[in-house]
């Protein structure tokens, strides 16, 4: 399976990356999401710095909201590399959408992390999926899970999936990484939204149903 192969590849390349379970996750607390939802540029820079420090990105990207840029929902943000400092651009549409902004930052900062390690997939489209997966592997999975879906038309309940890796693969990867690191359910579920917790439970039930039907156990 592609996900398993890439997790193994990253594990080999990164070695003993944050070996302790207590220091592994970046915890998206209510205080963090308050800053992500404020729309303030200073708050955005603060959280960007905190995530970057957590994963060891020394050249902290300069993040800002941008007027006049339009992107497909799976893209949402972009990072521009320069000789001085990388920069993250987030469309103004996402101002106030705290969970989406958290997911965008996780993905773009992971780009910076992978670039610093000279790690990349073979082609651009695969590299974006690989970056989502790597976000989970380096401890930013809670930001991804909480921001999987963004409402595009609030009053009508319209929503889009944010990111490149399909939701079920994000959940699978999250569970796989936690199992490999011997991280318990309580730690794994801490600071997840009710929707993210339900998505994990739905995935577990669907997996168990399939295993019961086939008699297969991994």
pLDDT in tens, 4-23: 999 999 988 988 777 677 78
Considering only residues 83 and 208, tell me which one the structure prediction assigns the higher pLDDT: 208
Asked whether the predicted pLDDT for residue 153 surpasses 50, the reply is no
Whether the predicted pLDDT of 138 surpasses 60: yes
Q: How far is CA 73 from the centre of its chain?
A: 15
What local confidence, expressed as pLDDT, does residue 19 receive?
65
Q: Which residue, 149, 59, 70, is CA-closest to 103?
A: 149
Helix (H) or strand (E) holding 149: strand 149-153
Cα Rg for the chain, rounded, in angstroms? 17
**Backbone phi and psi for residue 151, each to the nearest 5 degrees, phi listed first:** -75, 125
**CB within 8 A of 149, min separation 6: which ones?**
159, 160, 161, 162, 167, 195
**According to the model, what pLDDT value does residue 71 have?**
52
CB under 8 Å, gap of 24 or more: what pairs does 16-25 form? Answer: 17/138, 18/138, 18/139, 21/181, 21/182, 21/183, 21/184, 21/187, 22/187, 24/139, 24/181, 24/183, 25/139, 25/141, 25/142, 25/187, 25/190
Query: In a 3-state reduction of DSSP, which class is residue 212?
Result: helix
């Amino acid at each position: 399976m592609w996900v398993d192969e890439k997790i193994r590849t990253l594990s080999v390349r990164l070695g003993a990356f944050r070996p302790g379970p207590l220091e592994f996750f970046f915890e998206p607390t209510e205080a963090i999401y308050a800053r992500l939802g404020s729309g303030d540029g200073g708050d955005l820079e603060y959280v960007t710095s905190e995530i970057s420090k957590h994963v060891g990105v020394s050249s902290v990207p300069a993040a800002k909201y941008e007027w006049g840029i339009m992107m497909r929902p799976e893209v949402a943000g972009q990072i521009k590399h320069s000789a001085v400092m990388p920069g993250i651009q987030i469309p103004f549409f996402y101002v106030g959408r705290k969970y989406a902004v958290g997911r965008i930052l996780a993905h773009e900062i992971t780009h910076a992390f992978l670039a610093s390690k000279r790690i990349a997939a073979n082609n651009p489209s695969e590299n974006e999926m690989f970056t989502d997966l790597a976000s989970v592997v380096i401890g930013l999975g809670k930001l991804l899970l909480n921001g999987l879906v963004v409402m595009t038309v609030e009053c009508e309940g319209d929503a889009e999936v944010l990111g490149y890796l399909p939701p079920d693969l994000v959940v699978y990867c999250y569970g796989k990484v936690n199992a490999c690191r011997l991280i318990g359910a309580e730690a794994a579920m801490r600071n997840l939204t009710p929707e993210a917790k339900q998505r994990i439970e739905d995935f577990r039930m669907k997996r168990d149903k399939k295993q019961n039907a086939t008699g297969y156990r991994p």
